[in-house]
Amino acid sequence: MGNEFGAAALVDQLQTRMRTIDPLINAICTPNPNALTEAARLDTERDEGRVRGPLHGVPVLVKDNIDTAGLPTTAGSLALADQPPPLEDAPLVRRLRDAGCVLLGKTNLSEWANFRGSASSSGWSAYGGLTRNPYALNRSAGGSSSGSGAAVAAGLADYAIGTETNGSIVCPAALNGVVGIKPTVGLIPQQGIVPISHSQDTAGPMTRTVEQAAALLTVLTGSSTEYAGNCRGTDLSNVRIGVPRGPLWGYSTGLDQVSERALELLSSCGATIVDHLSLPTPGGDEDQLQVLAHELKVDLEAYLATRAPGGPRTLDELIAFNDDHADVELRWFGQELFERAAGTEGLSSPVYVAARLTALRAGRDGIDNLLRDNQLDAIVSPAYSPAWSIDLVNGDHVLGSSSSHAALAGYPLISVPSGTVAGLPVGLTFGGTARSEVTLIRLAHAFETARIVADGPFPTPEFTQWA
């Protein structure tokens, strides 16, 4: 799992691959110019007998909405490009460095983590440009952690960090054929990350395998729990897995076929599949938007106050910046979500309080009641529709997904590659109650192993256009 053959040699190899491959997919917006020096220092530590942990010398990419000392943190916006973050790492980045990881660079994202305008295209930002899917260059890499997902799929690093509010880790994980863990909100510190919503935001690992993601999760949480220790074989005897149907299935025939096969593989591992269940609709879109809009204004303005003087400090100032730079910032979509958030009246507003309660009940009560009533260890669903064609004019065309209930609840979700539809990767999500990561990792690893035994290694991208 760790890098025992020289961090500097591996970083040099990956930097060479970046120069060759990244121009095709545009996943990395800011390489770390000091990565090779940092890697050489870690090699010296290893030679002297100091190994910080299992990920000593492992290169990691970090999403460009997470503060990293010495590198820009832009959230994809030109408004933050010339306004440095604090001269310190976000807590999760400090944990990466303390564990001996090498910061390889920053990954592009959907600007403002895809909460600025309703007709946005995932993977586009004014600062970083457009990230493309390595499996089909004219198709979406998903959002908002598009660069992290595409980079891992393209072999630019085995380990990356994404962030999620609703689908922003599990979506690009599914579309790019990698593993993504969206942990329980609060398990990883959120300080130093450009926010949308304190009740839904979390960082999480994006990697090639479940075991790698589990090892990275241990570092990110600063936990004594060795999550990778739960990656042990395929025996799922005495495990009960629920399958909510309804709107979580049926939006993509090819995806349904791959997901039905996944249920057969889980059953072959000994799991009891409790099928044809249902989750309540997770509240109206209006309640969800009210929560995000209210929290965005409060949380984002608190974050902006930590930045260097001279840049925007309020949502109104960001809106004005975008208007002043409309030829670039507003070229493809607007900022009506920003404008809506700017008009909210704080977290004591009765509108916010009511919407938050509705959303919370829909998420937590829906998941917890389903688990309790059916004596389930976890639930599984198809992750996301296959990658849609990039359309900067009209925005994303997402047919369906499995992320909303877990997002509203603040509960964990893991996306694991389950197969392909017409050559496009798709994934299966494992979800559960708060802090059930140990169980979900065990199930996800068993499924991953069974799928590889049955089908062989997941296909690698060819970096071509899809017909």
Among 57, 28, 258, 259, which Cα is nearest to 149's? 28
Higher pLDDT, 362 or 74: 74
Rounded average pLDDT over 163-186: 98
Q: Which residues, 6 or more positions from 48, have their beta carbon under 8 angstroms from its beta carbon? A: none
DSSP state string for 208-234? SSHHHHHHHHHHHHT-S--GGGG---S
Q: Say which of 63, 106, 182, 297 is annotated catalytic.
A: 63
Q: Which long-range contacts (CB under 8 A, 24 or more apart) does 263-267 make?
A: 263/380, 265/447, 265/450, 265/451, 265/454, 266/236, 266/241, 266/380, 266/443, 266/446, 266/447, 266/450
Give me the sign of the Cα torsion angle 416, 291, 249, 263. Answer: positive
Quick one: pLDDT at residue 84? 79
Among 438, 444, 439, 379, which Cα is nearest to 416's? 444
Q: Is 268 tagged catalytic? A: no
Angle (CA) 260 415 144, round 5°: 130
What Cα–Cα distance (Å) separates residue 105 from each residue in 15, 94, 132, 134, 222?
Answer: 10, 15, 18, 19, 22
The DSSP symbol for 411 reads -
Secondary structure element (H or E) that encloses residue 243, with its range: strand 240-244
Among 168, 172, 179, which Cα is nearest to 216's? 179
Quick one: pLDDT at residue 5? 74
Q: Say which of 120, 122, 125, 144 is annotated catalytic.
A: 144
Mean pLDDT of the chain: 96
pLDDT tens, residue by residue, 414-463: 999 999 999 999 999 999 999 999 999 999 999 999 999 999 999 999 99
pLDDT tens, residue by residue, 332-363: 999 999 999 999 999 999 999 999 999 888 88
pLDDT tens, residue by residue, 220-250: 999 999 999 999 999 999 999 999 999 999 9
* Contact status, residue 418 vs residue 262, Cβ threshold 8 Å: yes
Backbone angles phi, psi at 428, to 5 degrees: -120, 135
pLDDT tens, residue by residue, 186-222: 999 999 999 999 999 999 999 999 999 999 999 999 9
* Contact status, residue 27 vs residue 107, Cβ threshold 8 Å: yes
Q: Is 385 tagged catalytic? A: no
Quick one: pLDDT at residue 87? 78
Quick one: pLDDT at residue 299? 98
pLDDT tens, residue by residue, 297-338: 999 999 999 998 889 999 999 999 999 999 999 999 999 999
The percentage of the chain sitting over the pLDDT mark of 90, rounded to a whole number, equals: 93
Distance CA 337, CA 21 (A): 34
* Contact status, residue 241 vs residue 271, Cβ threshold 8 Å: yes
pLDDT tens, residue by residue, 100-132: 999 999 999 999 999 999 999 999 999 999 999
* Contact status, residue 295 vs residue 351, Cβ threshold 8 Å: no
Among 246, 210, 259, which Cα is nearest to 383's? 259
Rounded average pLDDT over 21-25: 98
Give the three-class secondary structure for 159. strand
**One-letter amino acid of 86:** P
Is it the case that residue 2 has pLDDT exceeding 90? no
Is it the case that residue 171 has pLDDT exceeding 80? yes
Tokens of 351: 């509108």
Quick one: pLDDT at residue 285? 82
Quick one: pLDDT at residue 4? 64
Quick one: pLDDT at residue 1? 66
pLDDT band at 58 (very low <50, low <70, confident <90, very high): very high
First to last CA, the chain: 37
Q: Is 63 tagged catalytic? A: yes
* Contact status, residue 52 vs residue 38, Cβ threshold 8 Å: no
Is it the case that residue 255 has pLDDT exceeding 70? yes
Q: Say which of 168, 197, 402, 415 is annotated catalytic.
A: 168
Bridge-partner residues for 140, per DSSP?
132
